[in-house]
Chains A and B, each alone.
Chain A
Amino acid sequence: MKKLFQSFKLRLFIAIVLIGIVAVMLLENSIIAAFQNKAFETKTAGVIDDLVAVSGKMAAEKYPLNSSLAFDDTLSTLSSIYGGRIIVANSDFKIIYDSYGCLEDRYFTARNVIKAYKGQISSDISDEYLELVVPVKNGDSTLGIIYAGVSLKDEMNIKSALESRADTYVLIAILAIIVFAAITTFALSYPFSKISKQIKNFAAFDEGTIEPSGYLETEDIAEAFNELKVRLKILDDSRQEFVSNVSHELKTPITSIKVLADSINGQEDVPNELYREFMQDIVDEIDRENSIITDLLSLVKLDKGVSGLNISEMNVNEMLELIIKRLWPIAELNEVELSFEADKEIYADLDDVKMTLALTNLIENGIKYSNPGGLVRVILDEDHQYFTVTIEDSGIGIAKEEIDHIFERFYRVDKSHSREIGGTGLGLAIARKTVLLHRGSIKVESEVGVGTTFIVRLPITYIKA
């Protein structure tokens, strides 16, 4: 029920109907009030005319002074025409004629009577009767007053007949308003219904576009939705690409293992040395597969976001020294020199395991992509609330157009050499994600043939979101 009332259409409908009904009612009332006023005015004017005429005749005959029966017939006729009472009082305010015949000899000094005596015709209207007092004047002297209580029954009957007829029209008008409100509501809300239908259609069949139509508001919705659609598409594409990349990367070592195993199986009397050599190759491939899976798992963990971080205060110098110590054998193997420069001891809030992995990846990359005899410099520096780790190599460098893609998963700059260089293609993605989770930034500067510099800038104190 509550939900039904939350409907925009229903509210609009009710609003239109209410406004319409109020307007019609007001109109009806004002028309009837105008009629009533007009009817009463006309009646008042008519009665005043009658009374003034009678009072003129009376003044000529000095009627209120010389009480006679001459006017009784006229007055009683008027009384029955008016459906009310006629009273005449003399200048002593003593009643000398009452059409109902029971107030004679009593005194009539109501406010309007005194006013009339002083020359002012006065009238008063209640629901049932119009009360008028007219003076009987003979020159300057006032001989008395004529009072008429005139029934307004006819006017009220006409009014109620009019009201009941008006009620019928009002009812018809209200029905018309309801129909109008229904149509208007439908028409006004059509663009919204249309857009909602299109979105539902898209949700069901994953196709079609949202056509902007009708209102600025619906255009906004359509635009926003279409934007969302494009972003969803990009997300979906990248996921598909990722899945295909993962499958490919996972499949490569397995294919190698199969080839190696098949070739051993296919030969008879294989020499022991060859066996050993092939088995070593198979072990290498398994190691590679293992490292890819490990990296994927790390990435998945990073995807969990900040909640996955395990922050503690670390000595960054010690951390970097340990990493360099671990990478020393690889550097020697590649005939690359490794150097570490730091002016002071830096302590920072970091997730030890994840940050170690990230920095290891960056330095290892520097070593791998350096030419023999090259140098990889790791420089630690502090800058107010941040510290920076700069990893500078003198390797092959990265082309400008590739720089934007190097942090993508499984992206390889040099696809042809990827196998010799090794690695999983996930290292930079892991490094970037880790740095971002620590609310830091990672920057790359590179020139082909000269070398590449990664600058990692991290806050010393971890800022919670």
Chain B
Amino acid sequence: MKKNYWLIICILTCFIITACGKNDDNTMASVYKVYYLSEDKLSIESKEYEIDNMSAADTLGRLITLLSLSADGGNLAVNSSAIEGNMAVLDMNSAYNELVSEDRALIAEIIVRTLAQVEGIEYINITVNGKPVTDSSGNTVLPYKSDAFIDSDIVSMLGTNTDHVSLCMANKSKDGLIFTEEDITYNANKMQEEAIVEKLIEGPVNNKNHNGTINKDTVINSISKSGKVCYVDFSEKFFELPKGISPDLAVYSVVNTLTKLENTDSVVILVNGSNKEGFMANYQGELVMNLNVIN
């Protein structure tokens, strides 16, 4: 019976909001995703709705209605909602506190992902009967940031990272290094440093003003960080330099690129675990950025 009341209320609210929306503004509409719990309750899914452009508060109300409609009811209900600056506050009934941990996490995700689409909203605070929610350790759950939940994708459960980085490559005449800005996209399981060095090995794409400094067949055996020192271990192909590239350029293209990152001050380069062989004998220990080779 309770479920039915919930439904009727929702539909009524929906009508009212639709009517208001039409009076307000009917010039444009935007597409919003409304999330809901999957049938097996192991993940969330989404459905797209077109909502006429209206005030943030009205949009929020509309989304909450749609959420309620698509949610698998139970005893869960929204007491009220409000926008306080850049934060949306959603007050739930006590059923929210009674949810098991995984369900509560997914419901929170549904609410955060759906409401984060409202313009100007950066935080979402979920309260129960006006009181803050506490976590399993008894601490108060702070308002969720709009990107609090990690985006999984097909590539990885952690998703894909896209960073804007500076790469240090050889200039056109191959007598010095030059920084170039580029966007790199990589599996979130990969260290940023590894993705960057892979990009260095790949060399410039469609850019005649830059030249690669590392043999394209070089393999990164391992890459790790200890404090602010980055350790890079290449395969022996690293010794086979591209035509016209000096060891200085190869080594410092790696060092300068990595030390350009905030958390890295120096770099140790190894070839198959050693830095005693070949020209690497001249580049012992922790190497820091060398601006002398920058053109």
Contacts from A to B (Cβ < 8 Å)? 65, 80, 83-85, 87, 90-95, 100, 103, 106-115, 117-118, 124, 126, 128-129, 131, 133, 142, 147, 149, 151, 157
Report the bound CA distance from A109 to B43 in whole Å.
8
Report the bound CA distance from A80 to B109 in whole Å.
31
CB-based contact A85/B101 at 8 Å: no
Report the bound CA distance from A94 to B101 in whole Å.
11
Report the bound CA distance from A86 to B290 in whole Å.
33
Known interface pairs A107-B150, A129-B189; A149-B102 also in contact (CB < 8 Å)? no
**The one of A85, A93, A151 that contacts B102, using a Cβ cutoff of 8 Å:** A93
CB neighbours (8 Å) of B109 from chain A are 107, 109
CB-based contact A111/B105 at 8 Å: no
CB-based contact A108/B150 at 8 Å: yes
Report the bound CA distance from A157 to B220 in whole Å.
11
Binds A, one of B2-10, B77-85, B152-160, B247-255: B152-160
CB-based contact B102/A118 at 8 Å: yes
- State how many residues of chain B have any CB contact under 8 Å with chain A: 32
Known interface pairs A107-B108, A129-B189, A147-B157; A83-B136 also in contact (CB < 8 Å)? no
Q: How far is the CB of A99 from chain B (nearest CB, A)?
A: 9
CB-based contact A111/B152 at 8 Å: yes
CB neighbours (8 Å) of A142 from chain B are 101
Asked if B75 is at the interface of the complex by the 8 Å CB criterion, the answer is no
CB-based contact B106/A114 at 8 Å: yes
CB-based contact B43/A111 at 8 Å: yes
Q: How far is the CB of B279 from chain A (nearest CB, A)?
A: 24
**The one of A65, A92, A111 that contacts B101, using a Cβ cutoff of 8 Å:** A92
CB-based contact A90/B136 at 8 Å: yes
Q: How far is the CB of A345 from chain B (nearest CB, A)?
A: 101
Report the bound CA distance from A114 to B150 in whole Å.
13
CB-based contact B136/A109 at 8 Å: no
Q: How far is the CB of A73 from chain B (nearest CB, A)?
A: 12
Report the bound CA distance from A93 to B187 in whole Å.
21
CB-based contact B157/A117 at 8 Å: no
- B residues 109-152 near A (Cβ < 8 Å) are 109, 135-137, 141, 144, 147-150, 152
CB neighbours (8 Å) of A93 from chain B are 101-102, 105
CB-based contact A85/B136 at 8 Å: no
Known interface pairs A111-B42, A114-B106, A115-B42; A106-B148 also in contact (CB < 8 Å)? yes
Closest residue on chain B to residue A111 by CB atoms: B43
Asked if B219 is at the interface of the complex by the 8 Å CB criterion, the answer is yes
Q: How far is the CB of B231 from chain A (nearest CB, A)?
A: 9
CB-based contact B158/A149 at 8 Å: yes
CB-based contact A107/B42 at 8 Å: no
Report the bound CA distance from A91 to B157 in whole Å.
18
CB neighbours (8 Å) of A94 from chain B are 135
Asked if B188 is at the interface of the complex by the 8 Å CB criterion, the answer is yes
CB-based contact A157/B157 at 8 Å: no
CB-defined A-B contacts under 8 Å, sample of 14: A80-B224, A84-B189, A91-B136, A94-B135, A95-B150, A109-B43, A111-B43, A111-B152, A114-B42, A114-B43, A129-B190, A131-B189, A149-B187, A151-B189
Known interface pairs A85-B188, A107-B108; A117-B101 also in contact (CB < 8 Å)? yes
**The one of B102, B105, B189, B219 that contacts A157, using a Cβ cutoff of 8 Å:** B219
CB neighbours (8 Å) of A113 from chain B are 157
CB neighbours (8 Å) of A151 from chain B are 189-190
CB-based contact A91/B43 at 8 Å: no
Report the bound CA distance from A95 to B150 in whole Å.
10
Asked if B55 is at the interface of the complex by the 8 Å CB criterion, the answer is no
Q: How far is the CB of B146 from chain A (nearest CB, A)?
A: 11
Report the bound CA distance from A142 to B108 in whole Å.
19
CB-based contact A110/B191 at 8 Å: no
CB neighbours (8 Å) of A117 from chain B are 101-102
Asked if B284 is at the interface of the complex by the 8 Å CB criterion, the answer is no
CB neighbours (8 Å) of A126 from chain B are 155-156, 187
Q: How far is the CB of A140 from chain B (nearest CB, A)?
A: 13
Q: How far is the CB of B95 from chain A (nearest CB, A)?
A: 18
CB-based contact A65/B152 at 8 Å: no
Asked if B274 is at the interface of the complex by the 8 Å CB criterion, the answer is no
Report the bound CA distance from A126 to B154 in whole Å.
9
Asked if B162 is at the interface of the complex by the 8 Å CB criterion, the answer is no
Q: Which of B137, B141, B219 has the most CB of A within 10 A?
A: B137
Report the bound CA distance from A111 to B42 in whole Å.
5
Closest residue on chain A to residue B263 by CB atoms: A101
- B residues 195-230 near A (Cβ < 8 Å) are 219, 222, 224
CB-based contact B189/A106 at 8 Å: no
Q: How far is the CB of A115 from chain B (nearest CB, A)?
A: 6
CB neighbours (8 Å) of B156 from chain A are 126, 129, 131, 149
Report the bound CA distance from A109 to B158 in whole Å.
10
The 9 A-B pairs at the shortest CB distance, nearest first, are namely A149-B189, A111-B43, A93-B105, A110-B157, A110-B152, A92-B135, A129-B189, A80-B224, A91-B136
CB-based contact A124/B157 at 8 Å: yes
Q: How far is the CB of B60 from chain A (nearest CB, A)?
A: 21
Closest residue on chain B to residue A124 by CB atoms: B157
Closest residue on chain A to residue B104 by CB atoms: A92
Report the bound CA distance from A100 to B102 in whole Å.
25
Q: How far is the CB of A292 from chain B (nearest CB, A)?
A: 97
Closest residue on chain B to residue A82 by CB atoms: B189
CB neighbours (8 Å) of B158 from chain A are 85, 87, 103, 110, 147, 149
Closest residue on chain B to residue A115 by CB atoms: B42
CB neighbours (8 Å) of B147 from chain A are 106
Known interface pairs A65-B137, A147-B157; A92-B105 also in contact (CB < 8 Å)? yes
Report the bound CA distance from A86 to B152 in whole Å.
16
Closest residue on chain B to residue A95 by CB atoms: B150
Report the bound CA distance from A166 to B43 in whole Å.
43
Q: Which of B144, B148, B190, B224 has the most CB of A within 10 A?
A: B190
